[in-house]
Structure 1
């Protein structure tokens, strides 16, 4: 049986996978990680649109190259299509979304409802975030909530899943089956505290984590050494955040304006010395992947390519991290093909069949 057959329900791509012993979800990402395969995730830049095709077109560029797609929840405190809405569209087409949940905009009542709604739609992965402050976005007058933070959010969903209860103690009829994630930043001070903060997130319920962009491999290597010493790589899957830089100018702007992203001078000098800085930025991401994939305890990469999504497939392919493995790829379903054939026949064929003939053909 191929990995594709194992990672797709025989009754339809929009159906959850069969439960597996020791798995908390029925999703594809958890299966890949627990099989010991090097996982690849990415982010879908949310549209400022109500058109579902804007989501589908953005997802298509990742098709067959990633194991899961983050549905971003108003990152940077800027409003876009909601992560719940994006997840609804992605699950409908068979993709494996990671539903980001930020605590900035909703209280615990709304969040618990979204957890149930997401799980009911087939969302198997949820990433818990505190969220950026409203002052970071384009509507700084918005009222922040922060009823929970990332730690208490992890605990909340873990209680819902494992104990079958709301925070109020009221019982759930059907608990959500979800794989819980969180974000980490090994590159922000205080550096010595960062491994212990990961431990707190694991204790709260994190089963996988995605890191902030890594542009300083030695710093990340030191972080991973400490994490291994503490035994955390045996308790949690760690995905290193990577991504292309469009230019030296972009790198300087990010370093000065985006908190928590560390870009060494050597990276900027490399970009400045390149004839084609965008191409060099892509190669830089590939080079970083080739280094971090050899670090013990790293279970995968999280590729963030904001407004450079077309490079994700090239980066994954040229880095060789999949080692010949092909993640799930959406293919046209048989019922889709039948409808397409019938439509083509109606539009281009002079022969008119009866309804009974069409029924016979369908069966």
Structure 2
């Protein structure tokens, strides 16, 4: 990781932190995430839990907790086949305020015509990062009678957007006036069988156009270490930026439920036993996340972490701060707004029951 640059040289447009950056040679986008990764700095991204609401303030309040701690915010596209505010809508709100969203696109609900239109619209709004997903089946959600589309899958979606960006044309062959300048990502799951095939699947996604990937939750570091060894042996870590997925577990009960009910997430029994033996399981879950970060950041080929703190987003700053992964570097922070103190006070009220120290004070202490 290269040393952090002085604050005066951060990735900001001198005309305003909310304005797009100037393009750089060899970069696919104008986004901050791509700049951080290509400089060799350890990147941090996080996932924004989409609201069941049409109120934009619900998005802004959820995004505010990430400011100054992450390089990109994932705008989720109906994960679990459940309906929430759309990823396009979330990105429209985030880019308006200068945030760096990573727009997820799932193939379950849209055909290629709708997807290509969304890509152009997102790029026009300033979205610089797109994460391509096949998507969960509709049976996983609360509207199982919905009609699935799956016109494309994650591989063909990557290829579609790469063709739009690099060749300047739709899948039909019709030319684009202005191609979308986007940094393409995908998801990986080293923790689901067949394990030996997982590195090869990453290779296929890279060939299709993936420039960065975010992994499923990593609770088994030895398994992830083995996966990364194979990835390095294939030379894939030099062709793609790999972000390890991490997140806090709220309790042993939560961990056992995930272990039994969520396919693709592997939680070793030792992790659950550690939580069961803790006096404060929620606090132990946060510490466990920090410990895992400190292990995976030392694995060669790991370029960053993706923090998925579902319904615990207020702890992301604390987790990132105490893990020390930024090494003094501060990601982009939005210009001050009049309602910032309102948001900060609300977070303090949420957290005061299980913390004697104010989150802002704790983060400041770690940072100093």
Q: Same fold (TM over 0.5)?
A: yes
Is there any run of 5+ residues in structure 1 with no aligned partner, and where?
Answer: 338-363
Give distance in 2, aligned partners of 1:10 and 1:134: 45
Deviation of 1:116 after TM superposition, in Å, equals 0.1
The equivalent residue for 1:294 is: 298
1:193 matched to 2:226? The reply is no
The equivalent residue for 1:141 is: 145
1:262 matched to 2:251? The reply is no
The equivalent residue for 2:349 is: none
Give distance in 2, aligned partners of 1:239 and 1:77: 24
> Pick from 18, 21, 34: which aligns with 1:14?
18
Where 1:20 maps in the other structure, the secondary structure is coil
Give distance in 1, aligned partners of 2:13 and 2:152: 35
Give distance in 2, aligned partners of 1:263 and 1:35: 33
The equivalent residue for 1:80 is: 84
Give distance in 1, aligned partners of 2:26 and 2:8: 20
The equivalent residue for 2:34 is: 30
Higher Rg of the two aligned structures? 1
1:65 matched to 2:75? The reply is no
Give distance in 2, aligned partners of 1:96 and 1:317: 20
Query: Deviation digits for residues 189-220 of structure 1, max 9, x if unmatched?
Result: 00000000000000000000000000000000
Give distance in 2, aligned partners of 1:127 and 1:4: 30
Paired residues of 1:154 and 1:180 also in contact (CA < 8 A): yes
> Pick from 81, 102, 107: which aligns with 1:103?
107
The equivalent residue for 1:356 is: none
Paired residues of 1:17 and 1:27 also in contact (CA < 8 A): yes
Give distance in 1, aligned partners of 2:74 and 2:11: 18
> Pick from 146, 164, 178: which aligns with 1:160?
164
Give distance in 1, aligned partners of 2:312 and 2:85: 19
Give distance in 2, aligned partners of 1:113 and 1:161: 13
Give distance in 1, aligned partners of 2:105 and 2:74: 11
1:237 matched to 2:231? The reply is no
Paired residues of 2:33 and 2:43 also in contact (CA < 8 A): yes
RMSD of equivalent CA atoms: 1.2
Deviation of 1:10 after TM superposition, in Å, equals 1.8
The equivalent residue for 1:349 is: none
Distance 1:136 1:17, change over 3 A: same
The equivalent residue for 1:205 is: 209
Where 2:216 maps in the other structure, the secondary structure is strand
Deviation of 1:5 after TM superposition, in Å, equals 3.7
Where 1:181 maps in the other structure, the secondary structure is strand
Where 1:197 maps in the other structure, the secondary structure is helix
Distance 1:4 1:107, change over 3 A: farther
Where 1:9 maps in the other structure, the secondary structure is coil
> Pick from 72, 93, 97: which aligns with 1:93?
97
Count of aligned pairs: 335
Deviation of 1:8 after TM superposition, in Å, equals 1.2
Is there any run of 5+ residues in structure 2 with no aligned partner, and where?
Answer: 340-368
1:115 matched to 2:86? The reply is no
Detail structure 1 runs of 4+ shifted over 6 Å in the superposition: none
Where 2:270 maps in the other structure, the secondary structure is helix
Give distance in 2, aligned partners of 1:246 and 1:199: 34
Paired residues of 1:15 and 1:122 also in contact (CA < 8 A): no
Deviation of 1:3 after TM superposition, in Å, equals 5.5
Give distance in 2, aligned partners of 1:12 and 1:112: 30
Give distance in 1, aligned partners of 2:6 and 2:13: 13
Give distance in 2, aligned partners of 1:320 and 1:26: 27
Paired residues of 2:18 and 2:334 also in contact (CA < 8 A): no
Query: Deviation digits for residues 95-132 of structure 1, max 9, x if unmatched?
Result: 00000000000000000000000000000000000000
Deviation of 1:4 after TM superposition, in Å, equals 6.1
